[in-house]
Structure 1
Amino acid sequence: MIDIGVNLTNQRFDKDLASVIDNAKQAGLTKLMVTGTNIVESQKALVLAKENPGFIYSTAGIHPHDASSMTAESVVQLRELLTQPEVKAVGECGLDFNRNFSTPAEQEKAFIQQLELAVEYQLPVFMHERDANQRFIELLTPYIKQLPSAVLHCFTGTQEELERCLALDLHIGITGWICDERRGAHLLELVKMIPDNRLMIETDSPYLLPRSMRPKPKSSRNEPKYLPYIAQTIAHARQQSLSTFLSNTEKTTQSFFNLTQ
C-alpha cells in the first residue's frame, strides 16, 4: 500500500512523527509520498525523504493557497528541489476558488509556472482543484501531452468533473472523503468509473479522518495507518477483492511516481 498524499510536515505530527511513520509500516504501508505545499514545506518534506530512504519520497510545489508567495526566487528554489532524486513530482499545485487565500490570477500564474517546470524536468504533477474544475481543465489541457503523467489528488467532485479529468487521462487520488456519509457518499458510485490504471489512494493526513471508522479513533488527526480502511471501502464500492485492488493501485502508483520496487 502506498499513500500518495501525506502532510507529514504539518505541526500536528511534530510530537510523535517517528511513531506515526512506524505505525504506517506496521499497518502494511510500503511507501509514503510527503506533500510539499510551499517552499519551506517542500524542503522539510525532502529532509524527511532523505532520512527515510526507500520508504518516504516527496513532492515539491506551491499550493494554490500559497500562490501569492510565488516569486522568481521561488522558481529558483523549486528548480533546486526538483533535481533531488527523492522528489518524485511537482506540486501540490492547482486552483482553489473556494477560499481564494490567493487571488485567482495569482493561482493561475503559479499553476502555469509549475506545469512548465514539470514539462521541463519531465516529472509528474500532483494537483489540487476545488470549485475551479472548468478553468483547471482549460489551463492544464495545453500541457497534458507534454507531461509524463498527472494526478488530481483528493478528488471530491461530480460525475461531469470526473469525466473531464478522465478524458485528459488524469490519474485520480481518492481519500477518506469517500467514507463521509454527509458529503462523500456520491464517490461510492463514481469510483467505479475510474480505470484500474488511473486510480491511487491517499489519506491526506492529518486531514480527512474517515468518519465511518468503527471504533472511532479518539483523535481527529488522520494518519497513514488508516489507509487500509480507506482501501477496503473503495475496493468494496468497486466490487473488487482487497488483494486485487491493492495490487492494482500499488502497480499504478509505482509507475506514476517512477518508484523502485
Structure 2
Amino acid sequence: MLQKPTLIDIGANLSNRRFHADLDAVISRAKEAGVEHIIVTGTSERASHDAHALTQTYPGYLSSTAGVHPHEAKNWNTQCAKAIEKLADYDSVVAVGECGLDYNRMFSTETEQRACFEAQLQLAVRVQKPVFLHERDAHEDFFALLRQYRPQLKGAVVHCFTGNTDELRAYLDLDCHIGITGWICDERRGDDLRKAVKFLPKEKLMIETDAPFLLPRNLAVRPDDGRNEPMYLPVVFQAVANILRVSPVTLAQQIRKNTEQFFALPAALS
C-alpha cells in the first residue's frame, strides 16, 4: 500500500463559525488524510486572537497568523495595531496577515486598505516575521507597496494566488512564495492559474485549502453543505503534481521543506 504524502496546510480559517460544532472531527479527518500541520489564518483582531487560542488548544499541530484582511481595513486603529503586534510575539504565530488589498468587493475603501496594508508591512519588518498576503483585483497598487517593503521583509507568500503568468513572474521577481488553493481545481475559473503554475519553481510552492472556502470542484463526492476543510488538501496537491508532472513523493517533500523553512515551524515537525 502506497504511503500518503504528508502535507502542511498553510491557510485554513478554522476559527470560522462553520467549524465551531465539530472542529475535533475536522482535525481528526485532516490527520487521517495526511495533513500533518495546519496554519490557522487571522483575518481581523478578533479572528487573530481566536486563531492563536486554537494553537493553544491543539499545540504542535496548529500554528496561526495575526493580521487584518483588507475587508476589515476600516477597523484598523492604534488599539488593533498593538493587539496584532502583541500576538505576533508568540512563537505559535508564524506570520503577519492575512493582509493586502482587495478591490473586488470593497468592504473598506482603497485608502483604508492601503493604510492598513502598509502598517502591517511595517509591523512585519519590526517583528521580523513573514507576511501572509491577499490580493484581488488590486495587483498594481498591491505590487507597488510590496515591492517597496520586500527587501526588509523576512519573507512573503502570496496566499491563494489566482493570477496569470505575468503576475506570477512579477511576484517571483520579488522572491515571493506562492500559495495554491482549490482554485486550481475549478474548471470555470482556474485556467489562468493552471497555465501559470507550469512556470512556478518548486522551491517557491506551498499549498492550502482556505477552508471553509474554495471547496475543490473536482471532488468525487462533494459535502452537502459545500464546506471545505483541510482533509481535502491532498486534492489540491494532486492537481498541482499532475500539472507539474513530477513524482508526488518528491513534490511533497519539497513543499514541506519550503513551508517549514518559510514559517520557521517547530523542529518537532522535522
TM-score, normalization: structure 2? 0.95
* Aligned residue type for 2:25: S
Look up the match of 1:65.
71
* Matched ranges for 1:1-150 at <5 A: 1-150=7-156
* Aligned residue type for 1:66: E
- Aligned-residue RMSD, C-alpha: 0.8
CA shift for structure 1 position 244: 1.1
CA shift for structure 1 position 219: 3.0
* Aligned residue type for 1:138: A
CA shift for structure 1 position 192: 1.4
Structure 1: gaps of 5 or more residues: none
Counterpart of 1:256 in 2: which secondary structure? helix
The count of aligned residue pairs is 261
* Aligned residue type for 2:129: L
Counterpart of 2:35 in 1: which secondary structure? coil
1:158-191: per-residue Cα shift (whole Å, max 9, x none)?
2111111111111000000000000012322211
Look up the match of 1:241.
247
CA shift for structure 1 position 128: 0.1
Counterpart of 1:98 in 2: which secondary structure? coil
Task: Determine what percentage of the aligned residue pairs are the same residue.
Answer: 50
CA distance, structure 1, for counterparts of residue 83 and residue 194 of structure 2: 40
Structure 1: which 4+ aligned runs deviate by more than 4 Å? none
* Aligned residue type for 1:142: Q
* Aligned residue type for 1:146: Q
Contact 2:33/2:234 (8 A) holds in 1: yes
Contact 2:208/2:233 (8 A) holds in 1: yes
TM-score, normalization: structure 1? 0.98
* Aligned residue type for 1:201: I
CA shift for structure 1 position 82: 0.8
CA distance, structure 2, for counterparts of residue 246 and residue 189 of structure 1: 20
CA distance, structure 1, for counterparts of residue 21 and residue 223 of structure 2: 18
